[in-house]
Every structure is written in C-alpha cells, then in structure tokens.
Chains A and B, each alone.
Chain A
C-alpha cells in the first residue's frame, strides 16, 4: 500500500540536543512538507520541497533544517536553536507543481512524530 511513513512516533530528548525526524513516501509525489502542531492549534508550515535538491522555508523555519536528496525522503532536523521544540510534527506529500494537470493540492499525511524535550 502506498503511503507516508514517519519515524519515530514518539521521541524524548534533552534540551540542547539535535533530533532528526524521518519521513519517507512511496506515492511517487514530487512535493513534500513538514508541519508543526501545538495543542489546540492548527498546522504551521516549517519547510516544503517541490523537487529533489530544492526546498523553501515555511512560516516557522527558524531552528529547523531539512534535506531532499531523494524524491522519497524529506527528513527534518530539530536543532538546539529551536526554542520550543516540544510539539506534534506532521510530514505530508502531494503530487506537486510538476504534475499541474492532475495535482489537486490534496495533502497526504504521515501518522506524525510526537517530540518531547525534557
């Protein structure tokens, strides 16, 4: 079955440590996204990528970094510079602009990674 796999589902880290969240998709989608969700709030865009080896900052990119070396993979690193890293992190994908004719803009989400910094 095609889908998006995020790992780990739960992660605990000490302050000052960098952590990397994995996101892999086998939907053959060009576009991938990282969102952050805090309790009782909507999703805020961290980074997005429309094509391999290219990515753009979203609304809250400070303290985060990403890479897009392969179409299937879009890992997110939460660095020690991120002031409030405890949150629910969601990775998503869509067909993307390279497939304009059939891309509806619908996002497909992974199950999320819940990061707690102690």
Chain B
C-alpha cells in the first residue's frame, strides 16, 4: 500500500492524558500536513512539516500541541493533557513537493480522537 498511512484509526483518551497520532506519507513524499476536522465542519490546517523541519505551524494551538517529522520514521502529532474539545478527526496529507502549481496533497484515512 503506497498510500498515506495513519494510525491509530481510532483513539480514545480520558481528559488529561496524552494522544499521539502517527502519519507515514506516501512513498517518495517528504512533505506532510496535518489538519483537524470537527464534526460537520471543514478542514482546518494545523501544521506543515518537511523532514526534520517545521515549515508552518500557524494553525497549531499554542499550548499542548506539537508536531515532528524526524529523519527516520513517521510524522507525529502530539496532544498533551487532552480536553473534550480536542475530540475530532485528524487528517494527515502528504505531497511530493510544495512549490509546483499542480502538486496535490493526498490524504490518509484519518485518526478519530475521542476524549472522554
């Protein structure tokens, strides 16, 4: 499967716990984007990363949220001390590059986070 992979697909956490969401981009892609989608709402950009670098984190909440994309391994979106308002679907997308007009983002299946 050469598509974008995300795991876990479903994650249940209690308030105050940590959530770790993982994303492996499509083969050959080195650009990763994280989005959050609340029920019945649109996709909200969170962060854009290249290998070992955060390029744009303008959509990330200032506290509790962090993201990384190490040289080896998947990209990780980490949410510390989760609250009920963090319950949402978190989608990862990847692209081959970001500078081309035609370059598109391909989405993974998402992680549905439920905070009890």
Q: Do A and B bind each other?
A: no
